[in-house]
Amino acid sequence: MSAAPSVGEVQQSTPSEEVWNFPLVLLAVKVGSALAAGCTVVIKPAEQTPLTALHFASICASAGIPSGVVNVVTGLGATAGAALANHMDVDKISFTGSTDVGRLIMKASADSNLKKVTLELGGKSPCIVFSDANVDHAVKMAHFALFFNSGQACSAASRCFVQEDIYDEFVAKAAQRANEKIVGDPFNPKTENGPQIDAIQHKKILELIESGKGEGARLVAGGGSKEGKGFFIEPTVFADVTDHMRIAREEIFGPVQQIMKFRSVEEVIQRANDSNFALAASVFTKDINKALTIANSIKSGIVWINCHHVFRTQAPFGGCKESGMGREYAEEGIREYCEIKTVTVKIPQKNS
């Protein structure tokens, strides 16, 4: 671990991270930003994906990054993660993971050296489809927005609001798309949906699917576990979901799409905004004024118009409310690893 105070202009920091759904991409973003800001890093990968981080570190070494600059500590969150979060010489933690663990990290910071913390946590992102949108395109995009990476994405569109005039058509097409999805071995190039990461997630997703059935949502595709060598879940679509069902409020992190019906712009703004999470939102419409009204009205770190899951190096990414704090990517992402130092020089006066 290397986090001695720096001598240069840039404060040295030490991020740690715990990401399993996109282990390589998020390593690149976090480590890239930290190194650009002049920091050394200690990576604490998620216990589900240690090999990616170890291989990444070996590539850093062979690329000539000096020893001690990029470090990896594998282990469990409760031990290795907690040791970093509580460490007095770690200046910053950048964490991607669950909201519950995000809270623990902030507490550890408060109880130790008040290290800076950026958190990229859960989401329950709305995808709003107006009746003037191209329905086939919207069905395809809403499907991708939720089912991408087997539903294991913090910005997954897990609340899909569809305007009443096209609702029935949208639901039928969304169910058809889910039923056609090829589930299986992720090493088969034809596969569109692989297994979930582990037994814990698999069980949690199935439990939420059961809660959806129990609370009266209309199951139009999937709805259970799928046979196979792995933790497979059938691509699942619920229609007629209402705002207070658990599947409309809790992050599922699996291939389970919730479709809700709405009437007016005012109504959908209020409902889409009514969430403890505020990571991302998307809107599908041909009317740019409607799209910008939604973008301005909903509290959300990111708003996508006629697209979803678009990540670019120039575009800051991060959330509000219980989706976290701070931004990654772009200049803002690099600034998260810097401290501002004010140096004031007194100009000599005649009499002093």
Ligand X SMILES: *[C@@H]1O[C@H](CO)[C@@H](O)[C@H](O)[C@H]1NC(C)=O
Which residue is closest to ligand X by CB?
A: 273
Across the beta sheet with 218-221, what order do the strands follow? 218-221, 236-239, 256-262, 159-163, 126-129, 280-284, 302-305
Q: Which of 18, 25, 16 is nearest to 43 (CA)?
A: 16
Of 112, 242, 297, 306, which one interacts with ligand X (CB under 6 A)?
297
Do residues 90 and 96 make contact, with C-beta atoms less than 8 angstroms apart?
Answer: no
Query: Which 3 state secondary structure label does DSSP give 123?
Result: coil
Contact between 273 and ligand X by CB under 6 A: the answer reads: yes
Q: Which of 140, 139, 130 is nearest to 163 (CA)?
A: 130
Contact between 270 and ligand X by CB under 6 A: the answer reads: yes
Q: How far is the CB of 299 from ligand X (least distance, A)?
A: 5
Q: How far is the CB of 298 from ligand X (least distance, A)?
A: 7
Q: Which of 255, 237, 291 is nearest to 21 (CA)?
A: 255
Choice between 299 and 335, CB closer to ligand X? 299
Contact between 112 and ligand X by CB under 6 A: the answer reads: no
Q: How far is the CB of 65 from ligand X (least distance, A)?
A: 42
127 alpha-carbon distance from chain centroid: 15
Query: Which 3 state secondary structure label does DSSP give 257?
Result: strand
Contact between 299 and ligand X by CB under 6 A: the answer reads: yes
Active-site pick, 120, 234, 251, 328: 120
Contact between 6 and ligand X by CB under 6 A: the answer reads: no
Choice between 112 and 273, CB closer to ligand X? 273
- Give Dmax over CA atoms of the chain in angstroms: 87
Query: Annotated catalytic, 120?
Result: yes
Contact between 269 and ligand X by CB under 6 A: the answer reads: yes
Q: How far is the CB of 274 from ligand X (least distance, A)?
A: 7
Q: DSSP class of residue 126?
A: E
Q: How far is the CB of 122 from ligand X (least distance, A)?
A: 15
Could you give the residue numbers annotated as active site? Answer: 120
| Positions that interact with ligand X (CB under 6 A) | 269-270, 273, 297, 299, 321
